[in-house]
Structure formats: structure tokens, C-alpha cells
Amino acid sequence: QVQVVESGGGLVQPGGSLRLSCKVSGFSLDYYPIGWFRQAPGKEREIVSCITNNDLATFYPTAVQGRFTASRDAAKNTVYLQMNSLSPEDTAIYYCATDRRRWYCGNEYEYWGQGTQVTVSS
């Protein structure tokens, strides 16, 4: 069975940093896109980043570009989201997702993790 498990969330002060991890089991992550998403209370889910197979292309929305960086460790079948210069507006549950049906980024993903809470507060 395919499993997607996020970790690394927690409480951080404004201006601080966190690195989230997403470990995938059940298939090789090398050939498929990885999306990071977040959802704050009362708000719609929004994309944070996406990387294509073998990191050939990346995407970041304006809200996080320059602060967030996604990367992939193929040997560990794990992707990371490095988050710097965090602000209270970044507080949300963060999810990672992947899809075996394509190599490129998209709006629909086949597998989702359970999410990890990130809270930015003094």
C-alpha cells in the first residue's frame, strides 16, 4: 500500500525556520511530481510548491517564493520543504501529495499525507 507521511511541524517564532519531511513508501518517488499544500482554519487549501520528476522543474506561489524550497532525496524516497522567514500567516496544516499517473505538476493528486501542523507565533 502507498503511504505518505509528513513530519517536522511544530511551533516556531516569527522569523524562524522549519524543515518538513515527507516520506513515501510503496513506490519510487523519482518519477512522479510532489506537491506541498497548506490549509489554515476557515481558508481553502492552497499550493505551496511543486516539483516535477527528477526535480526538472519547480513551482512556488508568490506568497512563499524566496522563502520556501522543496527538494528530494531519492535514496531515502523522501521530499523536504525548507521554510525560512516564517510569519504568522504561514500557520496552517501542511500536506504533501504525489501522483503515479504523471510526471508533471497538476491540480489533482492521487496520494496525500495526513498533514503536519505548523504554528508561527510568539
Per-run averaged pLDDT (10 residues), the chain, 122 residues: 95 98 88 93 95 83 96 91 98 95 88 97 94
- pLDDT score of 54: 73
pLDDT at 9 (0 to 100):
98
Of the chain, the end-to-end C-alpha distance in Å amounts to: 40
Could you tell me the CA-to-CA distances from 35 to 68, 76, 92, 122 in Å, in that order? 13, 17, 16, 29
Element (H, E) at 93: strand 92-98
- DSSP β-ladder status, 92-98 and 116-120: antiparallel
Q: Which residue has the cell 513506490?
A: 27
pLDDT for res 104: 87
In whole angstroms, give the CA distance from residue 97 to residue 38: 11
What per-residue confidence (pLDDT) applies to 103?
86
Reading the block at residue 96, the C-alpha cell is 504533501
